[in-house]
Structure 1
Amino acid sequence: MPSASPFRSWLHRFAPALLALTLGAGAQADDPPGPIRIGVSGPFTGGSSPMGLSMREGIRIAAAELNAAGGILGRPVELLERDDEASNERGAQIAQELLQAGVVAGLGIVNTGVALASQRYYQQARVPVITSVATGSLITKQFLPPQHPENFVFRVSANDTLQAAMIVEEAVERRGLSRVAVFHDATNYGQHGREDLERALAERGIEAVAVERFRLRQADMLTPLRRARAAGAQAVLTYGIGPELAQIANGMARMGWEAPLIGSWTLAMSNFIDNAGPNAEGARMPQTFIQEPTTPRRAAFLAAWREKTGSERIPVPPAAAQGYDSMLLLAAAIAQAGSTDGDRIREALEDLRGTVEGVVMTYERPFSKTRHETIVRPADIYLGEVRGGHVVFAYEQDRQRATRP
């Protein structure tokens, strides 16, 4: 691991607007003394927990590095962490509790439905929230002008419109398949993902030969899989989470059906790979980060993960990297604002000056008044493949692209 911490290395690259951080300057006079409280919410138990726990650890690593470097505006970062259990209702309740506890911003949120249910409370309180993981295309569009002159919702993950386009490109353009089945879960995530897939297919004049909706914790996928095969599907495109995706892969293996499995980024979840075992091999999915030290920055992050967790394995590498980066971006905005006021932080995020060297990417003007997404192009994402029980680059050109800072 490099002798300097990743955060200190990042500080040296950042603009003079962040000089207050390196000098340990205090907050504005109207700010209360004490730690800067940041809410962190996500599913830390249940089927979505590999994503939530990976994200939380990434945020923790970044916060620890910030505090080791003197905090933000000379004040330590305090994370208020809450398990939303992937429940829309629980997520909404947590958002209100965190705001009452005095958080200056929120980070996290893994499930699309939870994001849509809970971020409205941040919006109403005029407190920024950076979605670290949830990918539903509607998330950053929930509070747009003219009804909402200011939008307090930001995101660092790859939205489903981009992912669906990549999934369809892999199936149709690269593999030459025209008869595909769409399997999606019954959550907001699955329903909106299905819509994105169907739109991406329609742009190529293709309609899925089968569309199958399944419940969370549904064990038997054989019946819908048989329908899809009987309809002549050449590939299965998925939108769900790990446990049910494993049931799909295992069901296909039981049937002896060797069609490609191509889906959203959740095919990288540890509980898909572990539960499907050899049947997960070859599954492909979009990824913002693949666990390889392709740059010194990523190598430093992986070393920090090993040091903090005692494990080489990251259950869901993109969730960890996105969590880490969301903390750094928020820190940069607070430092630039020179305040923990919600409007000042939002304005700083929309006009972030300098460079933030993250794990997913190096951020330069990552947001604007009208763009609250850091990832806006397929070129910002890679295609991963399960190989040997972990996710690697599906294409060598993607690996080469990832070596560029």
Structure 2
Amino acid sequence: MPTHLPAQPTRRMARAVRAALIAGIAGLSLAAAAQSAGPPIRIGVIGPFSGPSSDFGTPMLNGVRLAVEEINRVGGYLGRPIETLVKDDRADPDTGLQGAQALVQAGVVATIGFCNTGVALKALPVFQQARSPLLVPCATGTPLTAQVPAAESYVFRTSARDAIQAPFVVNDIVQRGWKRVAVFADTSGYGEAGLVDVQKALAAHGLAPAHVARFAIGVKDLKAELQAARAAGANVIFSYTVGPENATIANDRRALGWDVPLVGGWPLSFPFFIDGAAQAAEGALMAQTFIAEPSNERRAAFLANYARAFKTRLTVPMAAAQAYDTTYLLLYAMFGVPGGRFTGPALKASLENLQRTYYGVVATYDHPFTADDKDAVTDNMLVMGKVHQGAVTFAYPEDARRNLFVQRKR
């Protein structure tokens, strides 16, 4: 069961951690105090803020907004407020491409965005060609940080790529004795890349999928594929789809009376799955970087401040927390640029060599990026989540205990 701290200590924690953030920003400001205030600094934000993927797009946007509000409250960047220019990609690759072009043309210093791998893949060349940094807090498709050589790449990521999520989940299910794996992957860029990662992870254990099912986004009935997986002797289903299709798998599995576990990447923590599958979602397992339980002061403060700011249910905590941390990492990179001259190459170099540790919600970021590594999250930051009574909690008590300590990249 989730553990909850009393409301009053949580508010005290929120104030204490906010004060620490303010002190940290002030310390950064002192390093360049000779500079004077100027016009606002514009950063781009792009993601699915309407349509099916808004379940995790909106929390991502709110995570950015919460961080920007905190930063501006203490003077922004040396008296210059941070402004966001927001583009809704509607989870559509063509719309995402147009949004990326508009942001670059508007002259944003950097962009935070993308939740859908397929949308991001189509837009990445825009940022790369413009030499404009893109920080990805949600999309997890492995290819996103591998499109160009790392040293040349302007694409940075603070979400857990599928190349570490898939082995993490496969290792767990193999330890549980579930070795006859049916992989259900949609035909989007996310599903395509995820299938490859799952097959590689299984091969590392000398295994191959017992059955592979491919299906289009929006499918309403997967009973035939589930029957084929059962006939193949599968004893666990590994789902790789980002929307309501996860609920279709769970509900059809229940309708068939096939009682096998359902596991997957972080979309199994989304409302589309938990609400859409209801009782059929119970017990599903998934990789997580952040579970919405106030296990330490940083996380308690973030959850309290989010609730205060938006007065709404935090639908996908990982998306909000990762975007929040990403915004602060971008700010720290800004303070590393001499003279506040925020060219793309200067910000890229600063992100690759951050001079100050950021104590974030998801992780402690001590040199999260280098010229040769654009992924900030490593597998030690992952925990296994489990759906329990309509919410996501820790699958293992030892993960809950370990989560008291925020992990660093290894």
Establish whether TM, by shorter chain, passes 0.5: yes
Contact 2:385–2:394, Cα closer than 8 Å, also in 1: yes
TM-score by length of 2: 0.92
Structure 1 residue ranges without an equivalent (≥5): 28-32
In 1, Cα distance between the equivalents of 2:311 and 2:104?
A: 33
Contact 1:24–1:73, Cα closer than 8 Å, also in 2: no
Q: Which residue, out of 49, 58, 74, partners 1:44?
A: 49
Asked if 1:106 is matched to 2:102, the reply is no
In 2, Cα distance between the equivalents of 1:365 and 1:153?
A: 16
SS at match of 1:314: coil
Cα shift at 1:26: 3.2
SS at match of 2:61: helix
Structure 2 residue ranges without an equivalent (≥5): 1-10
SS at match of 2:244: helix
Corresponding residue of 1:58: 63
Amino acid at match of 2:372: T
Asked if 1:253 is matched to 2:263, the reply is no
Asked if 1:232 is matched to 2:233, the reply is yes
Corresponding residue of 2:351: 349
In 1, Cα distance between the equivalents of 2:36 and 2:148?
A: 33
SS at match of 1:47: coil
Cα shift at 1:10: 2.5
Corresponding residue of 2:157: 155
Cα deviation code 1:172-203 (max 9, x no counterpart): 12x11221100011100001100000010011
SS at match of 1:242: coil
Q: Which residue, out of 92, 117, 127, partners 2:97?
A: 92
Corresponding residue of 1:177: 178
Over the aligned positions, Cα root-mean-square deviation in angstroms equals 1.7
Aligned length: 393
TM-score by length of 1: 0.94
Corresponding residue of 1:144: 149
The list of structure 1 runs, each at least 4 consecutive aligned residues, that deviate by more than 4 angstroms after superposition, is: 5-8, 13-18
Contact 1:219–1:244, Cα closer than 8 Å, also in 2: yes
Contact 2:190–2:242, Cα closer than 8 Å, also in 1: no
Cα deviation code 1:200-242 (max 9, x no counterpart): 0011111111100111110001111111011110000011023
Amino acid at match of 1:386: V
Cα deviation code 1:331-384 (max 9, x no counterpart): 1101121332211111110000121111101111111111111112x2111110
Cα shift at 1:16: 5.3
Amino acid at match of 1:78: E
Corresponding residue of 1:30: none
Cα deviation code 1:222-267 (max 9, x no counterpart): 1111110111100000110230000000001101111000001100
In 1, Cα distance between the equivalents of 2:204 and 2:49?
A: 38
In 1, Cα distance between the equivalents of 2:191 and 2:134?
A: 23
Identical pairs, percent: 44
SS at match of 1:301: helix
Contact 1:111–1:134, Cα closer than 8 Å, also in 2: yes
In 2, Cα distance between the equivalents of 1:24 and 1:279?
A: 60
In 2, Cα distance between the equivalents of 1:16 and 1:69?
A: 12
Instruction: Specify whether residues 51 and 10 from structure 1 end up closer, same or farther in structure 2 by C-alpha distance, changes over 3 A only.
Output: same
